A and B are shown apart, each in its own frame.
Chain A
Amino acid sequence: SQTIHQWPATLVQPVGSPLSLECTVEGTSNPNLYWYRQAAGRGLQLLFYSVGIGQISSEVPQNLSASRPQDRQFILSSKKLLLSDSGFYLCAWRPGTGAGKLFFGSGTQLSVL
């Protein structure tokens, strides 16, 4: 069966520090991968998605970047965090073919102080 791992669960970082959040999927190949951000009490905002290794689509121009160095690995990064980067970050995947639903990781609560 397929599983998605996302870490760390919580992170407190100072303004101006770098960020690296990692997400991996097991039990499937060539998944579509996604990064969402959820501000407190709000809905989900799509940040990036990827349909293959090295293929990244950015939905919102901002202080963040994403990379997919391996088929089942998706990384969210920042060189210098801003206060506005605080939020709950969710990684998700869906099968690369067909119209499947999204499967989500457990999320990372990021606090930038």
Chain B
Amino acid sequence: AQKITQTQPGMFVQEKEAVTLDCTYDTSDPSYGLFWYKQPSSGEMIFLIYQGSYDQQNATEGRYSLNFQKARKSANLVISASQLGDSAMYFCAMREVYNFNKFYFGSGTKLNVKP
């Protein structure tokens, strides 16, 4: 089974609007970490935000927030006030407690911000 599922291959959002990128995960580990990375056309992977499975509050980093719903096993990324520079691929990833070395990545969502 897929560890990380991103069901939106591509999305459009109007500049200055908010957008939610979906991510669901599959694990039976009691402790895990969830990550979001941005990949602009240059190819480099840029870390955006992290959520630990035991964190009580949803993570926030500037315009990025993570809508963490543990029971549903979802970790959606919310980008507020979209900017043209947000156009990129976005990847959700998970690491399980029993193997810190394995980061599982989803297939990504291509976000296009329209002016």
Contact of B91 among A44, A51, A99 (CB under 8 A): A44
Other CB < 8 Å A-B pairs besides A36-B105, A44-B105, 18 of them?
Answer: A32-B101, A42-B107, A42-B108, A43-B91, A43-B106, A43-B107, A44-B93, A46-B102, A46-B103, A49-B102, A59-B102, A90-B43, A102-B35, A102-B47, A104-B44, A105-B44, A107-B44, A109-B43
Chain A residues, Cβ within 8 Å of B95: 99
Q: Mark A31-64, 1 if CB is under 8 A from B, else 0.
A: 0101010000111101001010000010100000
B binding-site residues for A, Cβ under 8 Å: 4, 6, 33, 35, 37, 42-47, 50, 91, 93, 95, 100-103, 105-108
Chain B residues, Cβ within 8 Å of A99: 33, 95, 100
Nearest to A9 among chain B residues (CB) is B43
Instruction: Report the number of A-B residue pairs with Cβ-Cβ less than 8 Å.
Output: 53
User: Do residues A101 and B91 form an inter-chain contact, with CB atoms below 8 A?
Assistant: no
Alpha-carbon separation in the docked complex, A107 to B101 (Å)? 20
**What secondary structure prevails in chain A residues at the interface with B?**
strand
Nearest to A108 among chain B residues (CB) is B43
A binding-site residues for B, Cβ under 8 Å: 32, 34, 36, 41-44, 46, 49, 51, 57, 59, 88, 90, 92, 99, 101-107, 109
